[in-house]
Structure 1
Amino acid sequence: MPNFISDVLKDLEIKEVNLSNLTFILPSKRAGVFLRNEIATNASKTIFAPSIISIEEFVEELSQLKKISNTELLFEFYSVYKSQTPIEQIESFETFSKWARMLLQDFNEVDRYLIEPKSIFKYLSDIKDINHWALEKNQTPLITNYLAFWKRLFTYYSSLVDVLIKKGKAYQGLIYREAVESLESYIQLNENDHHVFLGFNALNNSESLIIQELLQSGLASVYWDIDELFLNNTKHDAGYFIRQHKNMWTYLKSKPFQWSHKHYSEQKNMSVIGIPKNVGQAKYVGEILSTLKSQKGHLNNTAVVLGDETLLLPVLNSLPDTVEALNITMGFPLKSIPLASLFDQLFLLHKDGKSSFYYKDVIAILSHSFIRSLFIDNHKDFGQIIIDFINENNLVNIDYKKLLKLAPQLETILTLLFKPWSNNPSEALHNCLRVILEIKAFLVKNKKENLLALEYLYRFNEVFNTLTTLNSKYKHIISISALYSVYNELLSFETLDFKGEPLKGLQIMGMLESRVLDFETVIITSVNEGILPSGKSNNSFIPYDVKLENKLPTYKEKDAVYTYHFYRLIQRSKNVFILYNTEPDVINGGEKSRFITQLEVEGIHNIQHKIITPITPKIFQELMSISKTDDVISTLKSLSKKGLSPSSLTNYIRNPLDFYYQKILGIKEVDDVEETVAANTLGTVVHNTLEDLYKPFENAILNVDLIKNMTQKVENTVQHHFKNIYKDGDITKGKNLIIYEIAKRYVTNFLNEELKDLEQGNRIKIIEVEADLSVNLNIDTLDFPVTLKGKVDRIDEYNGTLRIIDYKTGKVEQSQVEVVDWDIICTDYKKYSKSFQVLMYAYMLHLQTPFKQNVEAGIISFKNLSSGFLKFGKKEKPGSRNKNTNIDVEVLNNFENELKKLILEIYNPNIDFIEKEIE
């Protein structure tokens, strides 16, 4: 296929130009690699390679200034800012950095477009004066300082320029301005050199002036790459800039224009494909490449151009195995590398200067993939030991000293990670660099498997070394918070560069990297409004109308830049795949780009439209079923010896699968830190408190004085049990303090109800508190006994009636301890679980010692204390007020029948554990 670079070389060959004497100047270094390869491929004899440089390298050579990094420029600017600002108005470096980058960008634009700085900054200051009534006598200090800031803009600019020039350094815009100043002397010293500019489109005033001067002096040629369709259509933004150059440059008015062509109108296979979400686009790129691979050699002239460069990783993960050679032009942002999250967590841990740390932050660092291995010593995982200690002791906050006691062998790494940084940026940087060295020392033990991770470490080592050097030189960073802010800024610009075969196989690049290059097959992703083009954005102190007045670029020009790149990319291609996101998004996506609409309106190409939707299989919810193998039956028999409790049986009724997981597989709930006191913890505290208060009075008759004496012990007893169960959890504030007070209130209210009963003349005798029950149940069809076990909260005698009482800290209603139909007591968990539990306690007590008196069983609900003792009752029919509350032989026999059915079902090898849908 034809390409722009080969066309230029053919033209130079026809003109019999000696390539060795030329200096080729291109928009990017990337294009230079392809130009050099094209020269080598087409050369018929051995020649010296010409000089091939990017426009930025050429301008830097002209200016004789070295480009300063963005981060160092920020530090230099802060020094200037401090020297030119009244001391009482100087902001911290952290605050300054938030607006200074935008102002530096404006300085850059003013210089690149050769705007007179004094006049434009005076203009801005005058605008602010008008907007804020500068002549008003009674201005607030805030307005006065604000207007003074705008008046100092030119002072900041000129002082910064002076400082940089003296040091032989400059930012890009200043390099351009100085290059223009040095152009005349350059022309005089290089009269015999010839420069070839190719592939340019949007030029700033500096570039435009430099190229024009070299053209007028006969030291240059320029090759444009524009289709006639775009050049002649005054409304088409793809030709916006080149039309301006053609119409306004004196040189081009008298010389032939090189070149316009008609490649865009040639037949193309063009597809516009809407795909939901970014990951969907990445996956579909892989599908397209899979089909292309079947066509021999296609990937050698194929480019994937990412409109949204954050798609790089998903696209790489979606590439088919058949992609043999690959070259990635763009860099991978360091902030997206796994190692970045480690330092993020470290900064977040230390930036507030606290001596103790939130447990989740500590666990996040200990669990980090780059750190976990450093905590293994002599095959012992101290990281997990620390995490387990935090969970078991309910530590919401933990300090460095406590961590050190848990793993004194690992003092070095614990000190680097968790010893407070004391708001000292130098110490923070030192520790981060030491952490990198510790990780490196571990990874080099198995270097071959950790090459990529070591590359990550190297790049982050560079970042922290840069920050260390700048901070030691300028001393502007005086807090961890400021350091974190600058670190984040630096990380947003830094990338991890990939190495690949630049001229073979599949090319993956951003839109700007495609300049000058041509490909037979092009896949462009994220062609949505807000991405291609990027739309209106004004990160500038200079208002839109002032930019128009001074011919500075606005969003209109930025859109035109991307329009040119988009159309230039597809003008020579044969196969074009344009992908866009169909899903609405808060920031972007959902609306296809105007570029797609423009392609449709032009009507030049036959465009195939597709909407791709992922195949969504119809999933029928299937309840799991676990068959009872010999091993399961064996475990069940072992369980029968240990004992089946009411809670385990009600768990089976609720969902047999949960019973299987907990009792057969032995799976327990994850032990985690309980930040807020859980309901079961509250229940345990209340139960244990009542046990402590009543245990000494077993087999004793209660009286008023005993209860009053118990009331005085409530606070200390509740506090003791919270300490014992909630460990080091804090109950002195927030929700936990409220729950602590609720626990005291529950116990106190219960004792008050007990006191009322006694004062009314009722006789209460405590038989047993927290009574452990264990009985054997013989079932004829089973060849082994089944043990039933449980713990009854309280057994007492109330006016001669034996009561079996279960405490509940949750709310229980009377209807929940009543039975109408025995057949469903072992199947309806929601309705009958409370009845089943109290009846099972009564049944076990009866098996131990048959009842010889009236017996009642029921629940005392601490959230429903006013209802008193909620007795179990058997009703003949729903809604009936008549019920039998006495646990007699008939009740126990009926319950026994249903209990045996339930146990036989559990032990029946032909009945699987079948999952229930839980409401």
Structure 2
Amino acid sequence: MKTFLQIVAQDIIRKYGNDLSRIAIIFPNKRASLFLNEELYRCAGKPVWAPNYLTISELFRKYSKAEVGDPIKLVCDLYKSFVKITGKDETLDHFYDWGRMLISDFDDIDKNMADADKLFANVADIHEFDDASYLTEEQKEILKTFFSNFSEDHNTRLKELFLSLWTKLKDIYNDFRERLASQGLAYEGMLYREVIENGGIEKEFDKYIFVGFNLLQKVEHRLFRHFKEEGAAEFYWDYDEFYCNPKRTASSHKEAGKYISMYLSELGNSLPQEDYGAAYDNFSVDKTISFIKAKTENIQARFVSEWLRQDGRYKDGRRTAVVMCDEGLLTGIMYAIPEEVENINITTGYPLSQAPVSSFVSQLLDLQTIGLRTDNGFRISFIRSLLTHPFTKYLSAKASELLKELQVKRILYPKNEELWADNSLKALFLPMDSNLKLMQWLLNILKNIAGKNEDVLFVESVFNMYTLINRIKGLVEAGELDVDRITIQKLLKQHIAATSIPFHGEPAIGIQIMGVLETRNLDFDHVLLLSCNEGNMPKGIRDSSFIPYSIRKAYGLTTVDNKVAIYSYYFYRLLQRAKDITIAYNTSTENGNKGEMSRFMLQLMVESRHEINRLSLHVGQSSVEKIAVRFEKDDNVMKILSAYGSLSPTALNRYLRCPMQFYFNNIAGIREPDEDIEEQLTSRAFGNIFHNVLEEIYKDFAGNGKMITSEVIKKLSETQNIEAVVDRMFQKEMFGSDERLWRKLHYNGMQLISRTVLIKYVKRLLDIDLELTPFSIVALEKDMFMNLDVNTDEGVRKVKVGGRIDRLDMVNDPKTGRQTIRVIDYKTGGSDIKTPVATIGEIFSADEAGGKKHTDYYLQAMLYSMIARNDRKLNPQALPVSPALIFIQRAFGENYDPVISLGRQRINDVEEYQAEFGEGLKALVANIYDRKEAFAPTANLKICTYCPYKPLCGR
């Protein structure tokens, strides 16, 4: 089957021979010209004088001295006209999005040659404005920018405000056009309209051949008619009888041929039906059509590899096309191309936003906006992000060294000079005090990294980014773009998102990977259409316009109907000459996706004569047996265990939870990475500050027998005293123990909240202590250990166990009335013990470890209490000892009692449970040192969920 361009090439050669130098061939876009040029050469069988290829846009620009302005500058000029006409003092920042929308409306008005004065003047008479219901939510939100007293519930007021603005649009439109004309500039519609209205379109070529057009804007239609009346035009239309023949076209898809049918009768066809009838009746030819549903976009992208291999489709090169209704699939598709594919041609370009340079520029902008402190320094999190970005290494070899220094020295609020490890880093870490300096700073950095990597994508992405920023810099320098820093950042990100890095290569060779618009005029034997969902095909129609539908319709502007018809044509035209068609769609309803196949697919199912195969894509799954790793206790392991100075409650609990976790941490020495220094407090840092504050408050009363009375507590509870201590402990946590390295704290919002909460918690603890006065503190943050004689298979082993307690105090127990020593552990987390441990045995149960009963808390509290009970220096009178856990978040009720219980039995004295607990403890330690007990993963898979060693384990 011949392609459309083959037929056009044959007809052109038949009519004009080999010398086409006086002919201009005009396409909707450039791509088709490359393919037609090749077909002309093939048809002639020898070299030919090539014709002049133009896009319709290039043809219009030939007849105008004006230049199409930069999109950002156009909005800036429109803003000046807006302020002049309305007298409003809105900032350009607020105006920008609204301005882009208005330029789009003006462009549509001009391309369709509507009478702008009448359009804007007569709108007040339209009955539709009796209320504002026609306005979309997006339009209402934009109006809110200008009308601060707008309420969604007062449509009458909205109508008045909108009409008051509308009455100015005619003057804004005219002033804007005059402003641009005085600079030799225009927006595209303005340029097109002036070309038509000014006349004087002289023939530069003998023939103007228009190929493959569909819907024509009125300016294009007038240009076509002009050349036809001059006898200098030919028209080649690409269509099929399936959707253009009134006798054969079903009503639901006749929209695809709506416009071509009109132009055929008016402008004629250079391929007459009587001679080329078969060229327009391809949809009736047998085709293999498959509809495939998939649960995700990613599955569709991965399917490309399988589809290309099926029946050797990849061997047909450019006769095979992968078409994306959602061009976001490109990256996934690129990774799915089989190795045996030698050549591919990607027409859509690689999104600049997905190139690493985009994240680099984004981090640079963040550094100079939200990363700036009030003292003109930079926030540590933004510094760290930039220093760890791969592109920073192209600027300075000392970036990693600087990051390490900041981390080791805990420099949370670095002075800018401390970041200047070399000249490159000095240039990087300089605050910019103006938008112009910011743009130049970005350009200098991009210059410095250019050429540091020869990878093609790196080079092209840096070049495109530099060009984009340079455009914005030019507008800032000219005073056109007077906006705040955040708006500059927003504009730059918008334009990055809209920019693609072009792929260079030979377009006429290899498998074609393209977007829907690039398929115009091209035919393929094998077509894979991906993400063909409603909303993608046709594209989701969101008319960002302030011109209501009825007015657009009345004045011949572009409407939703036009856009649907255009996409209907794209869909059917792509399929009409294909032999092998596969169309995939996403059934997921996530991320705004409706999960519906395109309406055009439904039309094919109902109205075409072709049988359609219905298939599904599923993620391939196979049963893989995972064998958990076990580590035997060889001589090396036993040597490490023997070298242990002591076993802490943390280590014992880790072993109970999972022996494998104990092995990785305590034997192999694989530690979790240290937390990066941060301005925001982690839960661990919050707990550290709380512990340190209480130690600081009570340090003068610890271990010296001083009694803490109610007067003492009241003095300690004074807000200024607590605040001072909290601030000092904040500094200690942020900057380390060496006070010489402490710096002034610049509290941010979250830190202020944490500080307030800490002060509240400390006051609450002092209130609890007030109820116990008088009492004394035996010890604070004290290391406590005991020796165990443990029977192992290698004999009796002496093992030291213990750790650091938060607080040891002596009180008159309000429950028993006896003088009692309490071993207290502070808990600042939100998890209280809702289900108490019932027996000592549960504390040492692997099934309970890490569960809701918090047996790990019990083991620690009971161990420290048992040590204190038997330590005659700390407890010379052999007083009762109670284990206590203060959950400070839960300690705001009356008569709060932190002493833990076993079941319903409060532990008034740990001695009662000492023998049983000691046996369990010895058994646990003996198991750790038992050579025959290998380190194996836990059977409790819930523990694996949050285990940091999960990637290393066979679980």
Class of the TM-score when normalised by the shorter of the 2 chains: 0.7 to 0.9
- Give secondary structure in 2 for the equivalent of 1:53: strand
Equivalence map 1:640-789=2 (5 Å): 642-666=645-669, 667-668=671-672, 670-672=674-676, 673=678, 675-676=680-681, 678=683, 681-682=686-687, 685-686=690-691, 689-690=694-695, 693=698, 698=703, 700=705, 702=707, 704=709, 707=712, 711=716, 715=722, 717=725, 720-725=728-733, 727=735, 728=745, 730=747, 734-755=752-773, 758=774, 768-781=779-792, 782=794, 784-789=797-802
1:253–1:853 CA distance, 2 compared to 1 (3 A): closer
Which residue does 2:329 correspond to in 1?
311
Q: What amino acid does structure 1 have at the position aligned with 2:883?
A: I
1:794–1:464 CA distance, 2 compared to 1 (3 A): same
Which residue does 1:227 correspond to in 2?
240
- Quote the Cα distance in structure 2 between the aligned partners of 1:308 and 1:327: 17
- Give secondary structure in 2 for the equivalent of 1:273: strand
Which residue does 1:857 correspond to in 2?
881
Aligned with 1:907 (options 910, 929, 933): 929
- Quote the Cα distance in structure 2 between the aligned partners of 1:186 and 1:93: 41
Which residue does 1:162 correspond to in 2?
178
* 1:437 maps onto 2:457 in alignment: no
Aligned with 1:794 (options 782, 798, 808): 808
Which residue does 2:309 correspond to in 1?
290
- Give secondary structure in 2 for the equivalent of 1:609: strand
1:885–1:330 CA distance, 2 compared to 1 (3 A): closer
- Give secondary structure in 2 for the equivalent of 1:477: coil
Q: What amino acid does structure 1 have at the position aligned with 2:328?
A: T
* 1:382 maps onto 2:394 in alignment: no
Greater alpha carbon shift after TM alignment, 533-542 vs 142-151: 142-151
- Give secondary structure in 1 for the equivalent of 2:389: coil
Q: What amino acid does structure 1 have at the position aligned with 2:121?
A: K
* 1:369 maps onto 2:379 in alignment: no
- Quote the Cα distance in structure 2 between the aligned partners of 1:434 and 1:210: 46
Deviations 1:489-513 (A, max 9, x none): 4334432111022111111111111
Q: % of aligned pairs identical? A: 24
- Preserved CA contact (<8 Å) 1:330 1:510: yes
Structure 1 residue 142: Cα displacement: 9.3
Which residue does 1:273 correspond to in 2?
292
Structure 1 residue 257: Cα displacement: 9.6
1:708–1:311 CA distance, 2 compared to 1 (3 A): closer
- Preserved CA contact (<8 Å) 1:416 1:434: no
- Quote the Cα distance in structure 1 between the aligned partners of 2:238 and 2:507: 23
Which residue does 1:324 correspond to in 2?
342
Structure 1 residue 517: Cα displacement: 1.1
Greater alpha carbon shift after TM alignment, 589-598 vs 142-151: 142-151
What is the RMSD of the two structures over their aligned residues, measured on CA atoms?
3.9
Greater alpha carbon shift after TM alignment, 860-869 vs 523-532: 860-869
- Preserved CA contact (<8 Å) 1:108 1:172: yes
- Quote the Cα distance in structure 2 between the aligned partners of 1:411 and 1:495: 33
Deviations 1:95-147 (A, max 9, x none): 222112222122222222222232223233655996599xxxxx999988754
1:404–1:785 CA distance, 2 compared to 1 (3 A): same
Deviations 1:218-251 (A, max 9, x none): 2122121221222113531221111111344589
Greater alpha carbon shift after TM alignment, 845-854 vs 590-599: 845-854
- Quote the Cα distance in structure 2 between the aligned partners of 1:632 and 1:823: 26
Greater alpha carbon shift after TM alignment, 203-212 vs 61-70: 61-70
Which residue does 1:47 correspond to in 2?
48
* Length-normalised TM-score, structure 2: 0.82
Structure 1 residue 414: Cα displacement: 4.6
Structure 1 residue 677: Cα displacement: 6.4
- Quote the Cα distance in structure 1 between the aligned partners of 2:705 and 2:236: 108
- Quote the Cα distance in structure 2 between the aligned partners of 1:49 and 1:253: 21
- Quote the Cα distance in structure 2 between the aligned partners of 1:629 and 1:609: 60
- Quote the Cα distance in structure 1 between the aligned partners of 2:540 and 2:688: 59
Q: What amino acid does structure 1 have at the position aligned with 2:536?
A: I
Which residue does 1:632 correspond to in 2?
637
- Quote the Cα distance in structure 1 between the aligned partners of 2:221 and 2:832: 84
- Preserved CA contact (<8 Å) 1:223 1:258: no
Structure 1 residue 329: Cα displacement: 1.4
* 1:490 maps onto 2:511 in alignment: no
Deviations 1:760-794 (A, max 9, x none): xxxx6765554433444333434553222333432
- Quote the Cα distance in structure 1 between the aligned partners of 2:867 and 2:182: 95
Which residue does 1:32 correspond to in 2?
33
- Preserved CA contact (<8 Å) 1:372 1:383: no
- The structure whose Rg is larger is 1
Structure 1 residue 740: Cα displacement: 2.1
Q: What amino acid does structure 2 have at the position aligned with 1:404?
A: N
1:79–1:416 CA distance, 2 compared to 1 (3 A): farther
Structure 1 residue 30: Cα displacement: 0.6
Q: What amino acid does structure 2 have at the position aligned with 1:73?
A: L
Greater alpha carbon shift after TM alignment, 3-12 vs 63-72: 63-72
- Give secondary structure in 1 for the equivalent of 2:772: helix
Q: What amino acid does structure 2 have at the position aligned with 1:41?
A: R
Which residue does 2:582 correspond to in 1?
577
- Quote the Cα distance in structure 1 between the aligned partners of 2:915 and 2:404: 52
Structure 1 residue 902: Cα displacement: 0.9
Aligned residues: 877
- Preserved CA contact (<8 Å) 1:856 1:871: no
Structure 1 residue 184: Cα displacement: 5.3
- Give secondary structure in 2 for the equivalent of 1:488: helix
Aligned with 1:150 (options 166, 180, 184): 166
Which residue does 1:172 correspond to in 2?
188
- Quote the Cα distance in structure 2 between the aligned partners of 1:439 and 1:474: 29
- Quote the Cα distance in structure 2 between the aligned partners of 1:45 and 1:765: 107
1:777–1:47 CA distance, 2 compared to 1 (3 A): same
Greater alpha carbon shift after TM alignment, 29-38 vs 807-816: 807-816
Aligned with 1:806 (options 800, 806, 824): 824
Q: What amino acid does structure 2 have at the position aligned with 1:543?
A: P
- Quote the Cα distance in structure 2 between the aligned partners of 1:823 and 1:16: 96
Q: What amino acid does structure 1 have at the position aligned with 2:28?
A: P
* Length-normalised TM-score, structure 1: 0.85
- Quote the Cα distance in structure 2 between the aligned partners of 1:735 and 1:157: 51
1:896–1:579 CA distance, 2 compared to 1 (3 A): same
Deviations 1:693-737 (A, max 9, x none): 366563636374895697478635555444433555849975313
1:580–1:5 CA distance, 2 compared to 1 (3 A): same
Equivalence map 1:208-247=2 (5 Å): 208-233=221-246, 235=251, 236-247=254-265
- Quote the Cα distance in structure 1 between the aligned partners of 2:417 and 2:264: 76
- Quote the Cα distance in structure 2 between the aligned partners of 1:336 and 1:883: 61
Q: What amino acid does structure 1 have at the position aligned with 2:507?
A: P
Deviations 1:309-361 (A, max 9, x none): 12111111211111211111122332332222233333344346753555433
